[in-house]
Chains A and B, each alone.
Chain A
Amino acid sequence: MAFNYQLFINSDHSILIEFEGDISENLLRYILGAAESIHNKSPTGFIELVPAYNSLLVIFEPLEFQPEQALSQIKTTIEQAKPVNAGSSRTIEIPVCYDVRVAPDIDYVADYCGMTVEELIEAHSSQNYTVYMLGFLPGFLYLGGLDERLHCPRRDNPRTKIEAGSVGIGGSQTGVYPIASPGGWQIIGRTPTTMLDIEQSPPSIANPLDNIRFVPISYEEFKKLSEATA
Protein backbone atom coordinates (compact mmCIF):
# COMPACT_ATOMS: atom_id res chain seq x y z
CA MET A 1 0.00 0.00 0.00
CA ALA A 2 1.54 3.24 -1.19
CA PHE A 3 -0.51 5.36 1.22
CA ASN A 4 -0.46 5.47 4.99
CA TYR A 5 -3.70 4.47 6.60
CA GLN A 6 -5.27 3.97 10.01
CA LEU A 7 -7.95 1.53 11.13
CA PHE A 8 -10.69 2.59 13.55
CA ILE A 9 -13.50 0.74 15.26
CA ASN A 10 -16.38 2.72 13.79
CA SER A 11 -19.28 0.99 15.55
CA ASP A 12 -20.16 -2.39 17.09
CA HIS A 13 -20.35 -3.78 13.57
CA SER A 14 -18.02 -1.76 11.34
CA ILE A 15 -14.40 -0.82 10.79
CA LEU A 16 -13.33 2.47 9.23
CA ILE A 17 -10.13 2.73 7.22
CA GLU A 18 -8.84 6.26 6.73
CA PHE A 19 -6.13 6.96 4.17
CA GLU A 20 -3.67 9.82 4.38
CA GLY A 21 -2.96 12.05 1.41
CA ASP A 22 -4.88 14.46 -0.77
CA ILE A 23 -7.96 13.28 -2.59
CA SER A 24 -6.79 12.08 -6.00
CA GLU A 25 -7.51 9.49 -8.65
CA ASN A 26 -4.38 7.68 -7.57
CA LEU A 27 -5.58 7.41 -3.94
CA LEU A 28 -9.00 6.37 -5.23
CA ARG A 29 -7.46 3.50 -7.21
CA TYR A 30 -5.79 2.27 -4.00
CA ILE A 31 -9.00 2.58 -1.98
CA LEU A 32 -10.92 0.61 -4.60
CA GLY A 33 -8.11 -1.96 -4.73
CA ALA A 34 -8.32 -2.35 -0.95
CA ALA A 35 -12.10 -2.68 -1.21
CA GLU A 36 -11.79 -5.36 -3.86
CA SER A 37 -9.33 -7.45 -1.87
CA ILE A 38 -11.36 -7.17 1.35
CA HIS A 39 -14.42 -8.22 -0.63
CA ASN A 40 -12.56 -11.24 -2.03
CA LYS A 41 -11.17 -12.15 1.37
CA SER A 42 -14.61 -11.74 2.97
CA PRO A 43 -13.69 -11.71 6.71
CA THR A 44 -16.10 -13.49 9.11
CA GLY A 45 -19.51 -11.77 9.14
CA PHE A 46 -18.62 -9.40 6.28
CA ILE A 47 -21.65 -7.72 4.66
CA GLU A 48 -20.59 -4.73 2.58
CA LEU A 49 -18.06 -2.01 1.81
CA VAL A 50 -18.57 1.70 1.29
CA PRO A 51 -15.64 3.43 -0.45
CA ALA A 52 -15.38 7.21 -0.10
CA TYR A 53 -12.94 10.06 -0.98
CA ASN A 54 -10.28 9.09 1.54
CA SER A 55 -11.89 6.36 3.58
CA LEU A 56 -13.43 2.94 3.32
CA LEU A 57 -16.08 1.53 5.64
CA VAL A 58 -16.28 -2.24 6.15
CA ILE A 59 -19.66 -3.33 7.54
CA PHE A 60 -20.30 -6.62 9.34
CA GLU A 61 -23.26 -8.61 10.59
CA PRO A 62 -23.38 -7.34 14.21
CA LEU A 63 -23.84 -10.79 15.78
CA GLU A 64 -20.87 -12.21 13.86
CA PHE A 65 -18.53 -9.25 14.30
CA GLN A 66 -15.19 -10.26 15.83
CA PRO A 67 -13.29 -6.97 16.05
CA GLU A 68 -9.77 -8.26 16.78
CA GLN A 69 -9.90 -10.84 14.04
CA ALA A 70 -11.49 -8.42 11.58
CA LEU A 71 -8.87 -5.74 12.27
CA SER A 72 -5.98 -8.12 11.68
CA GLN A 73 -7.56 -9.69 8.58
CA ILE A 74 -8.23 -6.28 7.07
CA LYS A 75 -4.71 -5.08 7.85
CA THR A 76 -3.11 -8.11 6.21
CA THR A 77 -5.41 -7.84 3.21
CA ILE A 78 -4.73 -4.14 2.66
CA GLU A 79 -0.96 -4.63 2.87
CA GLN A 80 -1.19 -6.95 -0.13
CA ALA A 81 -3.81 -4.97 -2.03
CA LYS A 82 -3.00 -3.60 -5.47
CA PRO A 83 -4.53 -0.42 -6.89
CA VAL A 84 -7.27 -1.11 -9.43
CA ASN A 85 -6.37 -0.61 -13.05
CA ALA A 86 -7.42 2.75 -14.53
CA GLY A 87 -8.11 0.92 -17.79
CA SER A 88 -11.22 -0.68 -16.33
CA SER A 89 -13.05 2.63 -16.07
CA ARG A 90 -15.69 3.58 -18.62
CA THR A 91 -16.61 6.92 -20.16
CA ILE A 92 -20.31 7.65 -19.83
CA GLU A 93 -21.98 10.45 -21.76
CA ILE A 94 -24.88 12.18 -20.06
CA PRO A 95 -26.99 14.44 -22.28
CA VAL A 96 -27.78 17.74 -20.54
CA CYS A 97 -30.22 20.43 -21.56
CA TYR A 98 -28.93 23.82 -20.39
CA ASP A 99 -32.08 25.67 -21.52
CA VAL A 100 -33.30 28.16 -18.94
CA ARG A 101 -36.69 26.38 -18.86
CA VAL A 102 -35.01 23.50 -17.00
CA ALA A 103 -32.01 25.47 -15.70
CA PRO A 104 -33.47 28.10 -13.37
CA ASP A 105 -30.10 29.26 -12.00
CA ILE A 106 -28.02 29.27 -15.19
CA ASP A 107 -28.23 33.06 -15.70
CA TYR A 108 -27.27 33.68 -12.08
CA VAL A 109 -24.29 31.30 -12.23
CA ALA A 110 -23.04 32.72 -15.53
CA ASP A 111 -23.29 36.19 -14.06
CA TYR A 112 -21.57 35.14 -10.83
CA CYS A 113 -18.75 33.48 -12.77
CA GLY A 114 -18.38 36.47 -15.08
CA MET A 115 -19.10 34.66 -18.32
CA THR A 116 -21.86 34.29 -20.87
CA VAL A 117 -24.28 31.38 -20.68
CA GLU A 118 -22.65 29.95 -23.83
CA GLU A 119 -19.21 30.10 -22.21
CA LEU A 120 -20.58 28.43 -19.08
CA ILE A 121 -22.11 25.60 -21.11
CA GLU A 122 -18.85 25.21 -23.03
CA ALA A 123 -16.81 25.10 -19.81
CA HIS A 124 -19.15 22.68 -18.04
CA SER A 125 -19.51 20.27 -20.97
CA SER A 126 -15.90 20.20 -22.18
CA GLN A 127 -14.59 18.67 -18.98
CA ASN A 128 -13.96 15.01 -18.19
CA TYR A 129 -15.32 14.34 -14.70
CA THR A 130 -14.21 11.45 -12.52
CA VAL A 131 -16.68 9.62 -10.30
CA TYR A 132 -15.11 9.53 -6.82
CA MET A 133 -17.88 7.97 -4.80
CA LEU A 134 -21.64 7.55 -4.50
CA GLY A 135 -23.82 8.66 -1.63
CA PHE A 136 -25.95 11.51 -0.31
CA LEU A 137 -28.90 10.30 -2.43
CA PRO A 138 -29.45 6.88 -4.03
CA GLY A 139 -27.35 6.89 -7.21
CA PHE A 140 -25.79 10.33 -6.57
CA LEU A 141 -22.31 10.59 -8.11
CA TYR A 142 -19.68 12.70 -6.38
CA LEU A 143 -17.67 14.08 -9.32
CA GLY A 144 -14.19 15.56 -9.40
CA GLY A 145 -12.92 17.95 -12.04
CA LEU A 146 -15.18 21.01 -12.05
CA ASP A 147 -13.45 23.94 -13.78
CA GLU A 148 -12.41 26.43 -11.09
CA ARG A 149 -14.02 29.26 -13.03
CA LEU A 150 -17.39 27.57 -12.41
CA HIS A 151 -17.16 27.33 -8.63
CA CYS A 152 -20.27 29.01 -7.24
CA PRO A 153 -21.78 29.02 -3.72
CA ARG A 154 -25.01 27.17 -2.97
CA ARG A 155 -28.29 29.04 -2.91
CA ASP A 156 -29.10 30.97 0.25
CA ASN A 157 -32.55 29.40 0.27
CA PRO A 158 -32.45 25.71 -0.59
CA ARG A 159 -35.35 24.56 -2.77
CA THR A 160 -37.87 22.21 -1.20
CA LYS A 161 -38.03 20.20 -4.42
CA ILE A 162 -35.51 19.78 -7.19
CA GLU A 163 -36.59 17.62 -10.13
CA ALA A 164 -34.89 14.29 -10.81
CA GLY A 165 -32.12 14.71 -13.39
CA SER A 166 -31.31 18.28 -12.39
CA VAL A 167 -27.66 19.19 -12.93
CA GLY A 168 -26.25 21.53 -10.33
CA ILE A 169 -23.22 23.33 -9.00
CA GLY A 170 -22.60 23.58 -5.26
CA GLY A 171 -19.33 25.22 -4.25
CA SER A 172 -16.53 23.35 -6.00
CA GLN A 173 -18.73 20.40 -6.94
CA THR A 174 -21.03 19.56 -9.79
CA GLY A 175 -23.48 16.69 -9.99
CA VAL A 176 -26.86 15.32 -11.00
CA TYR A 177 -29.83 14.84 -8.65
CA PRO A 178 -30.79 11.23 -9.42
CA ILE A 179 -34.20 11.56 -7.75
CA ALA A 180 -36.43 14.48 -6.84
CA SER A 181 -35.25 15.91 -3.53
CA PRO A 182 -34.82 19.11 -1.57
CA GLY A 183 -31.47 20.76 -2.23
CA GLY A 184 -29.39 23.92 -2.28
CA TRP A 185 -27.31 23.60 -5.42
CA GLN A 186 -27.55 26.07 -8.29
CA ILE A 187 -29.43 24.28 -11.07
CA ILE A 188 -27.81 24.83 -14.48
CA GLY A 189 -29.42 22.05 -16.51
CA ARG A 190 -31.31 18.80 -16.58
CA THR A 191 -30.69 15.38 -18.07
CA PRO A 192 -33.37 13.06 -19.43
CA THR A 193 -31.12 10.08 -18.52
CA THR A 194 -32.26 7.81 -15.68
CA MET A 195 -29.48 8.02 -13.10
CA LEU A 196 -30.92 5.37 -10.77
CA ASP A 197 -32.48 2.26 -12.26
CA ILE A 198 -33.63 -0.16 -9.58
CA GLU A 199 -34.16 -2.90 -12.19
CA GLN A 200 -30.46 -2.90 -13.06
CA SER A 201 -27.54 -4.39 -11.19
CA PRO A 202 -25.78 -2.21 -10.19
CA PRO A 203 -28.63 0.30 -9.97
CA SER A 204 -26.44 3.35 -10.60
CA ILE A 205 -25.40 4.64 -14.02
CA ALA A 206 -21.70 4.74 -13.07
CA ASN A 207 -19.15 3.47 -10.56
CA PRO A 208 -16.15 5.11 -8.90
CA LEU A 209 -13.34 5.85 -11.38
CA ASP A 210 -15.71 6.02 -14.35
CA ASN A 211 -15.54 9.19 -16.43
CA ILE A 212 -18.56 11.37 -17.03
CA ARG A 213 -19.02 13.76 -19.93
CA PHE A 214 -21.97 16.13 -20.15
CA VAL A 215 -23.20 16.50 -23.74
CA PRO A 216 -25.34 19.60 -24.45
CA ILE A 217 -28.74 18.95 -26.04
CA SER A 218 -31.54 21.30 -27.08
CA TYR A 219 -34.79 21.72 -25.20
CA GLU A 220 -36.59 19.87 -28.01
CA GLU A 221 -34.21 16.92 -27.77
CA PHE A 222 -34.62 16.96 -24.00
CA LYS A 223 -38.41 16.77 -24.36
CA LYS A 224 -38.17 13.91 -26.84
CA LEU A 225 -35.69 11.90 -24.76
CA SER A 226 -37.67 12.52 -21.57
CA GLU A 227 -40.78 11.07 -23.16
CA ALA A 228 -38.80 8.07 -24.36
CA THR A 229 -37.53 7.24 -20.85
CA ALA A 230 -40.83 8.02 -19.08
Chain B
Amino acid sequence: MSIRFIKAGLQTSLQDLGRAGFRRYGIPNNGALDPVSLQIANWLVSKPLNSACLEITQAGPVIEFTQDMAIAVTGAHFELSIDDIPVDMHQTLLVNKGEQLTFGKLVNGARAYLAFAADPDLPIIMNSFSTNLMANFGGFEGRAFNNNDTLNLKSFFMPEAKVTPKELQLQFGDNYQIRFIKGREWSCFSKDMQQQFLQTAYQVTSQSNRMGMRLKGSALKTEKPLSMTTAPITPGTIQMPTDGQPIITLADGQATGGYPRVGQVITTDLSVLGQLKANDSISFQEIDLIDALNLLCQKNDFINRLFNN
Protein backbone atom coordinates (compact mmCIF):
# COMPACT_ATOMS: atom_id res chain seq x y z
CA MET B 1 0.00 0.00 0.00
CA SER B 2 2.43 2.61 -1.14
CA ILE B 3 3.79 4.75 -3.91
CA ARG B 4 7.43 4.65 -4.90
CA PHE B 5 9.48 7.49 -6.35
CA ILE B 6 11.44 6.15 -9.29
CA LYS B 7 12.54 9.74 -9.78
CA ALA B 8 11.83 12.22 -7.01
CA GLY B 9 11.82 15.44 -9.05
CA LEU B 10 13.43 18.77 -8.12
CA GLN B 11 11.62 19.28 -4.82
CA THR B 12 8.67 17.02 -4.07
CA SER B 13 7.37 17.27 -0.51
CA LEU B 14 4.26 16.45 1.47
CA GLN B 15 2.17 19.55 2.25
CA ASP B 16 -1.35 20.33 3.43
CA LEU B 17 -2.73 23.73 4.47
CA GLY B 18 0.01 24.02 7.09
CA ARG B 19 0.25 24.46 10.84
CA ALA B 20 -1.11 27.53 12.57
CA GLY B 21 -0.44 28.51 16.15
CA PHE B 22 3.32 27.99 16.49
CA ARG B 23 4.76 31.24 15.16
CA ARG B 24 5.50 32.37 18.71
CA TYR B 25 7.99 29.49 18.89
CA GLY B 26 9.57 30.59 15.63
CA ILE B 27 7.79 27.87 13.67
CA PRO B 28 6.28 28.99 10.36
CA ASN B 29 3.04 27.79 8.77
CA ASN B 30 4.62 25.56 6.13
CA GLY B 31 1.96 24.08 3.84
CA ALA B 32 1.18 24.38 0.13
CA LEU B 33 2.50 27.50 -1.59
CA ASP B 34 -0.60 27.38 -3.83
CA PRO B 35 -3.35 26.40 -1.38
CA VAL B 36 -6.09 26.87 -3.99
CA SER B 37 -4.65 24.20 -6.30
CA LEU B 38 -4.12 21.89 -3.31
CA GLN B 39 -7.80 22.20 -2.38
CA ILE B 40 -8.96 21.51 -5.93
CA ALA B 41 -6.80 18.36 -6.02
CA ASN B 42 -8.38 17.14 -2.78
CA TRP B 43 -11.86 17.94 -4.06
CA LEU B 44 -11.22 15.76 -7.13
CA VAL B 45 -10.57 12.73 -4.92
CA SER B 46 -13.39 13.60 -2.47
CA LYS B 47 -11.10 14.27 0.46
CA PRO B 48 -11.28 17.02 3.10
CA LEU B 49 -9.89 20.10 1.34
CA ASN B 50 -7.00 20.47 3.79
CA SER B 51 -5.65 16.94 3.21
CA ALA B 52 -1.99 16.30 2.46
CA CYS B 53 -0.82 16.25 -1.16
CA LEU B 54 2.51 15.96 -2.90
CA GLU B 55 3.77 19.42 -3.81
CA ILE B 56 5.75 19.04 -7.03
CA THR B 57 8.17 21.77 -8.05
CA GLN B 58 9.15 22.58 -11.65
CA ALA B 59 10.79 19.26 -12.51
CA GLY B 60 8.32 16.54 -11.65
CA PRO B 61 8.73 12.97 -10.41
CA VAL B 62 8.12 9.50 -11.86
CA ILE B 63 5.92 7.57 -9.44
CA GLU B 64 5.08 3.88 -9.35
CA PHE B 65 1.90 2.66 -7.68
CA THR B 66 1.88 -0.62 -5.75
CA GLN B 67 -1.89 -0.94 -5.87
CA ASP B 68 -4.92 0.42 -7.72
CA MET B 69 -5.59 3.95 -6.60
CA ALA B 70 -7.51 7.14 -7.38
CA ILE B 71 -5.44 10.30 -7.67
CA ALA B 72 -5.69 13.80 -9.14
CA VAL B 73 -3.17 16.40 -10.31
CA THR B 74 -3.78 20.17 -10.32
CA GLY B 75 -1.77 23.39 -10.26
CA ALA B 76 1.16 23.96 -12.61
CA HIS B 77 0.47 22.50 -16.05
CA PHE B 78 2.66 19.44 -16.64
CA GLU B 79 2.46 16.98 -19.54
CA LEU B 80 1.38 13.83 -17.69
CA SER B 81 1.45 10.24 -18.77
CA ILE B 82 0.58 6.89 -17.23
CA ASP B 83 2.78 4.14 -18.69
CA ASP B 84 3.54 6.45 -21.64
CA ILE B 85 -0.10 7.15 -22.44
CA PRO B 86 -0.87 10.88 -22.11
CA VAL B 87 -3.53 11.77 -19.54
CA ASP B 88 -5.17 15.06 -18.60
CA MET B 89 -4.81 16.93 -15.35
CA HIS B 90 -7.91 18.36 -13.60
CA GLN B 91 -9.81 15.07 -13.25
CA THR B 92 -9.96 12.02 -11.02
CA LEU B 93 -7.43 9.54 -12.44
CA LEU B 94 -7.45 5.81 -11.81
CA VAL B 95 -4.03 4.18 -11.77
CA ASN B 96 -3.55 0.45 -11.63
CA LYS B 97 -1.08 -1.55 -9.61
CA GLY B 98 2.36 -1.45 -11.21
CA GLU B 99 1.66 1.55 -13.43
CA GLN B 100 3.96 4.56 -13.58
CA LEU B 101 2.88 8.18 -13.60
CA THR B 102 5.40 10.46 -15.29
CA PHE B 103 5.50 14.23 -14.94
CA GLY B 104 6.86 15.38 -18.29
CA LYS B 105 7.39 18.84 -19.64
CA LEU B 106 6.32 21.82 -17.50
CA VAL B 107 4.03 23.94 -19.69
CA ASN B 108 3.23 26.74 -17.24
CA GLY B 109 3.21 27.56 -13.53
CA ALA B 110 5.72 26.25 -10.99
CA ARG B 111 4.01 23.83 -8.59
CA ALA B 112 1.61 20.96 -9.13
CA TYR B 113 -0.35 19.10 -6.44
CA LEU B 114 -1.02 15.38 -6.45
CA ALA B 115 -3.85 14.20 -4.19
CA PHE B 116 -4.63 10.56 -3.45
CA ALA B 117 -7.79 8.87 -2.16
CA ALA B 118 -5.85 7.61 0.86
CA ASP B 119 -3.97 9.00 3.87
CA PRO B 120 -0.21 9.11 4.41
CA ASP B 121 0.82 6.50 6.99
CA LEU B 122 2.86 9.10 8.85
CA PRO B 123 2.59 10.96 12.17
CA ILE B 124 0.84 14.32 12.29
CA ILE B 125 3.28 16.86 13.74
CA MET B 126 1.82 20.04 15.27
CA ASN B 127 -1.57 19.53 13.62
CA SER B 128 -0.17 19.02 10.14
CA PHE B 129 1.38 16.63 7.62
CA SER B 130 3.30 19.56 6.10
CA THR B 131 7.06 19.25 5.77
CA ASN B 132 9.29 21.79 7.49
CA LEU B 133 12.32 21.51 5.22
CA MET B 134 14.41 23.89 7.34
CA ALA B 135 14.04 22.18 10.73
CA ASN B 136 13.47 18.75 9.15
CA PHE B 137 10.22 17.70 10.74
CA GLY B 138 6.75 16.81 9.52
CA GLY B 139 5.87 15.18 6.20
CA PHE B 140 8.13 12.35 5.07
CA GLU B 141 11.15 12.24 7.43
CA GLY B 142 11.10 16.04 7.50
CA ARG B 143 12.50 16.31 4.00
CA ALA B 144 11.75 16.34 0.29
CA PHE B 145 11.51 12.92 -1.36
CA ASN B 146 14.61 11.28 -2.83
CA ASN B 147 14.84 8.75 -5.64
CA ASN B 148 13.62 5.31 -4.50
CA ASP B 149 11.76 6.57 -1.43
CA THR B 150 8.53 4.75 -0.65
CA LEU B 151 5.57 6.61 0.82
CA ASN B 152 3.22 4.28 2.68
CA LEU B 153 -0.47 5.05 2.47
CA LYS B 154 -3.52 3.78 4.35
CA SER B 155 -7.32 4.13 4.43
CA PHE B 156 -7.88 3.72 0.70
CA PHE B 157 -11.27 4.38 -0.81
CA MET B 158 -12.67 4.68 -4.30
CA PRO B 159 -14.12 8.15 -4.85
CA GLU B 160 -16.62 9.15 -7.54
CA ALA B 161 -14.98 10.44 -10.71
CA LYS B 162 -14.97 14.24 -11.07
CA VAL B 163 -13.67 16.83 -13.47
CA THR B 164 -12.51 20.27 -12.30
CA PRO B 165 -15.01 22.95 -13.37
CA LYS B 166 -13.62 24.81 -16.39
CA GLU B 167 -13.29 28.05 -14.42
CA LEU B 168 -10.93 26.35 -11.96
CA GLN B 169 -8.70 24.67 -14.55
CA LEU B 170 -6.10 27.31 -13.84
CA GLN B 171 -3.41 28.22 -16.33
CA PHE B 172 -0.52 30.37 -15.24
CA GLY B 173 1.28 33.19 -16.99
CA ASP B 174 4.71 34.65 -16.42
CA ASN B 175 3.64 38.19 -15.65
CA TYR B 176 1.38 39.14 -12.72
CA GLN B 177 0.14 42.17 -10.92
CA ILE B 178 0.20 41.39 -7.20
CA ARG B 179 -2.04 43.42 -4.89
CA PHE B 180 -0.87 44.53 -1.46
CA ILE B 181 -1.88 46.75 1.41
CA LYS B 182 0.61 49.27 2.80
CA GLY B 183 3.05 47.93 5.34
CA ARG B 184 4.18 49.49 8.61
CA GLU B 185 7.23 51.21 7.06
CA TRP B 186 5.60 52.18 3.72
CA SER B 187 5.50 55.82 4.79
CA CYS B 188 9.24 55.78 5.58
CA PHE B 189 9.91 55.72 1.84
CA SER B 190 9.73 58.97 -0.13
CA LYS B 191 6.84 59.60 -2.55
CA ASP B 192 9.29 59.09 -5.42
CA MET B 193 10.42 55.77 -4.04
CA GLN B 194 6.81 54.67 -3.50
CA GLN B 195 5.99 55.56 -7.12
CA GLN B 196 9.04 53.69 -8.30
CA PHE B 197 7.94 50.61 -6.34
CA LEU B 198 4.51 50.73 -7.99
CA GLN B 199 5.91 51.20 -11.48
CA THR B 200 8.69 48.62 -11.45
CA ALA B 201 8.32 45.24 -13.13
CA TYR B 202 10.28 43.06 -10.71
CA GLN B 203 11.92 39.87 -11.85
CA VAL B 204 11.69 36.71 -9.74
CA THR B 205 15.25 35.49 -9.08
CA SER B 206 16.57 31.95 -8.85
CA GLN B 207 17.41 32.51 -5.16
CA SER B 208 13.70 32.18 -4.41
CA ASN B 209 12.50 29.16 -2.45
CA ARG B 210 9.67 28.11 -0.14
CA MET B 211 10.91 30.57 2.51
CA GLY B 212 10.86 33.65 0.36
CA MET B 213 10.57 35.07 -3.12
CA ARG B 214 13.53 37.29 -3.91
CA LEU B 215 12.93 39.95 -6.53
CA LYS B 216 15.22 42.05 -8.68
CA GLY B 217 14.41 45.50 -10.03
CA SER B 218 15.17 49.14 -9.39
CA ALA B 219 16.39 49.40 -5.80
CA LEU B 220 14.11 50.94 -3.20
CA LYS B 221 15.85 52.75 -0.37
CA THR B 222 15.05 55.12 2.43
CA GLU B 223 17.12 58.30 2.67
CA LYS B 224 18.83 56.99 5.78
CA PRO B 225 18.86 53.33 6.81
CA LEU B 226 15.98 52.75 9.25
CA SER B 227 16.77 51.49 12.70
CA MET B 228 14.49 48.46 12.90
CA THR B 229 13.66 46.29 15.89
CA THR B 230 13.04 42.63 15.08
CA ALA B 231 9.29 42.17 14.70
CA PRO B 232 6.81 39.48 13.61
CA ILE B 233 6.27 38.90 9.89
CA THR B 234 3.90 36.55 8.04
CA PRO B 235 3.55 34.98 4.60
CA GLY B 236 2.99 37.88 2.21
CA THR B 237 5.16 40.42 4.07
CA ILE B 238 7.19 42.39 1.51
CA GLN B 239 10.48 43.26 3.21
CA MET B 240 13.10 45.64 1.87
CA PRO B 241 16.65 44.67 2.85
CA THR B 242 19.40 47.28 2.71
CA ASP B 243 20.22 46.45 -0.93
CA GLY B 244 16.72 47.65 -1.87
CA GLN B 245 15.64 44.41 -3.58
CA PRO B 246 12.34 43.16 -2.14
CA ILE B 247 11.80 39.77 -0.53
CA ILE B 248 8.27 38.38 -0.14
CA THR B 249 7.94 36.00 2.80
CA LEU B 250 6.32 32.69 1.83
CA ALA B 251 4.88 29.73 3.78
CA ASP B 252 8.25 28.52 5.16
CA GLY B 253 9.50 32.04 5.93
CA GLN B 254 10.80 33.16 9.31
CA ALA B 255 8.30 34.20 11.95
CA THR B 256 10.24 37.39 12.65
CA GLY B 257 12.19 39.80 10.48
CA GLY B 258 14.29 42.91 10.80
CA TYR B 259 13.86 44.77 7.51
CA PRO B 260 11.38 47.53 6.66
CA ARG B 261 7.94 46.16 5.82
CA VAL B 262 6.86 47.85 2.61
CA GLY B 263 3.58 46.02 2.27
CA GLN B 264 1.61 42.89 2.77
CA VAL B 265 0.40 40.85 -0.22
CA ILE B 266 -3.33 40.26 0.08
CA THR B 267 -4.36 36.72 1.03
CA THR B 268 -6.21 36.32 -2.29
CA ASP B 269 -2.98 36.73 -4.27
CA LEU B 270 -0.70 34.53 -2.13
CA SER B 271 -1.57 31.37 -4.08
CA VAL B 272 -0.40 32.95 -7.36
CA LEU B 273 3.05 33.59 -5.83
CA GLY B 274 3.41 29.82 -5.47
CA GLN B 275 3.15 29.47 -9.25
CA LEU B 276 5.95 31.89 -10.14
CA LYS B 277 9.46 30.82 -11.03
CA ALA B 278 12.79 32.46 -11.85
CA ASN B 279 12.58 35.16 -14.53
CA ASP B 280 8.81 35.57 -14.24
CA SER B 281 7.83 39.14 -13.64
CA ILE B 282 5.57 40.83 -11.10
CA SER B 283 4.47 44.36 -10.41
CA PHE B 284 2.66 45.66 -7.34
CA GLN B 285 -0.69 47.38 -7.00
CA GLU B 286 -1.71 49.00 -3.73
CA ILE B 287 -5.31 48.48 -2.58
CA ASP B 288 -7.11 49.22 0.68
CA LEU B 289 -8.13 46.78 3.38
CA ILE B 290 -11.84 46.71 2.53
CA ASP B 291 -11.10 45.82 -1.10
CA ALA B 292 -8.69 43.12 0.05
CA LEU B 293 -11.35 41.55 2.27
CA ASN B 294 -14.01 41.79 -0.45
CA LEU B 295 -11.72 40.11 -2.98
CA LEU B 296 -11.08 37.28 -0.55
CA CYS B 297 -14.82 36.75 0.06
CA GLN B 298 -15.55 36.78 -3.66
CA LYS B 299 -12.81 34.28 -4.41
CA ASN B 300 -13.96 32.01 -1.62
CA ASP B 301 -17.62 32.17 -2.73
CA PHE B 302 -16.60 31.47 -6.31
CA ILE B 303 -14.62 28.37 -5.36
CA ASN B 304 -17.30 27.08 -2.98
CA ARG B 305 -20.02 27.47 -5.60
CA LEU B 306 -18.07 25.41 -8.09
CA PHE B 307 -17.25 22.76 -5.50
CA ASN B 308 -20.88 22.44 -4.44
CA ASN B 309 -22.37 22.20 -7.93
Contact = CB atoms under 8 A, between A and B. Distances in A.
B20 A48 contact: yes
A202 interface: yes
Interface residues of A, number: 43
B292 A12 contact: yes
A12 B181 contact: yes
B281 interface: no
B160 to A, nearest CB: 27
A48 B254 contact: no
A74 B231 CA distance: 19
Contacts of A196: 135
Interface stretch (A58-66, A114-122, A150-158, A210-218): A58-66
Interface string A177-192: 0110100000000000
A48 B26 contact: no
Interface string B119-136: 000000110000010111
B206 interface: no
A178 B266 CA distance: 32
A62 B267 contact: yes
A49 B24 contact: yes
Interface in A109-154: 133-140, 142
A11 interface: yes
B308 interface: no
Interface residues of B, number: 39
A139 B24 CA distance: 9
Contacts of A137: 26, 134-135, 254
Contacts of A47: 20-21
A103 interface: no
A72 B173 CA distance: 41
B137 A65 contact: no
A63 B300 contact: yes
Given A50-B256, A63-B297, A139 B264 contact: no
Interface in A153-202: 178-179, 181, 196, 198, 202
B232 to A, nearest CB: 4
B293 A50 contact: no
A62 B234 CA distance: 13
Contacts of B25: 134, 138-139, 202-204
A23 B229 CA distance: 9
Contacts of A55: 229, 231-232
Contact of A65 (B28, B237, B255, B293): B293
B156 interface: no
B232 A11 contact: no
A53 B231 contact: yes
Contacts of A198: 125-126, 135, 137-138
9 contacts: A14-B234, A47-B20, A52-B229, A63-B297, A136-B254, A136-B256, A138-B132, A198-B125, A198-B135
9 tightest CB-CB pairs across the interface, nearest first? A135-B256, A57-B232, A11-B264, A50-B232, A12-B292, A62-B267, A138-B135, A134-B26, A138-B27
Given A10-B264, A11-B266, A48-B22, 14 more contacts: A8-B184, A11-B236, A12-B289, A50-B256, A59-B234, A62-B296, A65-B293, A136-B230, A137-B134, A138-B26, A142-B230, A178-B26, A198-B137, A203-B27
